[in-house]
Amino acid sequence: MLLRRSVAILGQGYVGLPLAMAAAGAGWKVFGLDNSEIVINSLQKGISHIADVSDDELKKWLSSEDYLPTSEWSLVSEASVVVICLPTPLNANREPDLGALESGLKQIGTFLAQDALVINESTSYPGTLREFIVPLLRKLRSESLDEMFFASAPERIDPLNENWNLKNTPRIVAGITHEASLLAFDFYSSFCENVVQVSSPELCEAAKLLENTFRQVNIALVNQLVPLCNELGINARELVEAAGSKPYGYMKFYPGAGVGGHCIPIDPLYLLWKARQVGYELPFVAKADEVNGNMPKYVVERVVEMASPQLGAHVAILGVAYKSGISDVRESPAEHVAQALVSKGFKPVWVDPLVESFHGFEKHNGHKISGAIVVTAQEGLPVRELAESGVPILDCTGVYKGISGVEQL
């Protein structure tokens, strides 16, 4: 039976679970769907695996029965709204990988209610909704899609951001039809303070890519200046702060060991791929990816220059999550730093109080350390202790400025 104020959310990760909590809080009956039995079992016990969702909040909506975490994909048939929050990574050739999206659509295709609203939040190239999702569902269903509604509303989640959250971050939406746009607007307006309708799903999809391409390009600009600043004896972060004293016409972006997370390293390449599909090149985007991609090698060269470690020596990576305060290591530049150390003949070991495992690399456990690189400033890192013991440290975060033995990027 179709429940008119019900939503099925495909994927209960860093996008889907906060969305589920927000929708439940707005009075929606929420089916939280995920293929991972580990994730579902944990959620059913009231244990959150997402930093932005507390166990208490999760238990509140579980006990009210407004939130049901499940792997029963057939429950999609009871939802008037279906939101896709599935990962869209890059493949081995650094091109769009829509495998998870395709798999999710195949699991729900035959269960969708005839007049359901299907919304894609997963980041992808312009045309994904109209050219990929709708045709695939048309192939999967024996019934016509004429009475169904389709919209795009790209996620804008920044984990642990204290100022901007799902409620107060403006949401852009667009449907394939005018009615679909209105339905998507009504859905998000139930828990978002500002919902912005734009002219087409393709514009929605492109806007999300532009947001993060803007960050990629500007971070690359600053990272490209780092070797020059080092040669000139200028502190790159101080340079950024000095330029940032101008109250208009400038935004501060900081250097680092690379770019990480689910957006900046990936989204610009979706845009670049789509441009090439239609015969265009985006040289700024390609160069920015190249510059930021080379930063792990550069920081390894810097620490080797500082510490002069013997081949085979252990070099520590301090902070391996992609940002401070979280345990997520996917797309972390620390992985590329570790690989660069291995390629130079050194043995990387890592320290991060929030991370349990890191891509098979060995955790620091009493090893003799010849040098260290701070990639992510996690609370509790032994930066001062290592520096006081004589270990040369390159700080790529700017957090440990002023500690003797710690050099800034």
CATH number (3.90.480.20, 3.40.50.720, 3.40.50.300, 3.40.50.1390) of 3-199 reads: 3.40.50.720
Distance CA 332, CA 300 (A): 15
pLDDT of residue 288: 97
pLDDT of residue 3: 61
Closest CA to 340 of 366, 369, 373: 373
* One-letter amino acid of 359: H
Distance CA 190, CA 79 (A): 16
Known catalytic membership, residue 263: yes
Q: What is the mean pLDDT of the chain?
A: 95
Question: Does residue 217 carry a pLDDT above 70?
Answer: yes
* One-letter amino acid of 292: N
pTM of the model: 0.93
Q: Report helix angle 201-232 to 283-307, nearest 10.
A: 40
Write out pLDDT tens, residues 242-258: 999 999 999 999 999 99
Q: Kindly list the domain boundaries of the chain, sorted by start residue.
A: 3-199, 212-408
Q: Are 169 and 196 in contact (CB under 8 A)?
A: no
pLDDT of residue 119: 98
Closest CA to 201 of 175, 179, 181: 175
pLDDT of residue 261: 86
Stretch 220-241: mean pLDDT? 96
Confidence band of 145 (pLDDT split at 50, 70, 90): confident
pLDDT of residue 146: 83
Q: Is 51 left (phi over 0), alpha (psi -120 to 50) or beta?
A: alpha
Question: Does residue 2 carry a pLDDT above 80?
Answer: no
Residue 119 host element (H or E): strand 117-120
Write out pLDDT tens, residues 374-390: 999 999 999 999 999 99
Q: Are 374 and 399 in contact (CB under 8 A)?
A: yes
Confidence band of 84 (pLDDT split at 50, 70, 90): very high
Residues paired with residue 117 on neighbouring β-strands, in sequence order: 81, 149
Confidence band of 142 (pLDDT split at 50, 70, 90): confident
Of the candidates 85, 192, 229, 263, the residue annotated as catalytic is 263
Alpha helix segments (H runs only) across 233-282: 236-243, 267-277
Distance CA 340, CA 346 (A): 9
Write out pLDDT tens, residues 257-304: 999 988 899 999 999 999 999 999 999 999 999 999 999 999 999 999
Per CATH, which fold does 212-408 belong to? Rossmann fold (3.40.50)
Distance CA 404, CA 314 (A): 21
Give the sign of the dihedral formed by CA 130, CA 133, CA 136, CA 137.
Answer: negative
Write out pLDDT tens, residues 36-82: 999 999 999 999 999 899 999 999 999 999 999 999 999 999 999 99
Residue with tokens 């700080």: 395
Closest CA to 293 of 223, 373, 209: 223
Integer distance in angstroms from the first to the last C-alpha of the chain?
A: 59
pLDDT of residue 300: 97
DSSP state of 281: -
Confidence band of 234 (pLDDT split at 50, 70, 90): very high
* One-letter amino acid of 187: F
Write out pLDDT tens, residues 341-386: 999 999 999 999 999 999 999 999 999 999 999 999 999 999 999 9
Q: Which two tokens stand for residue 72?
A: 């029963």
Closest CA to 261 of 211, 170, 323, 318: 323
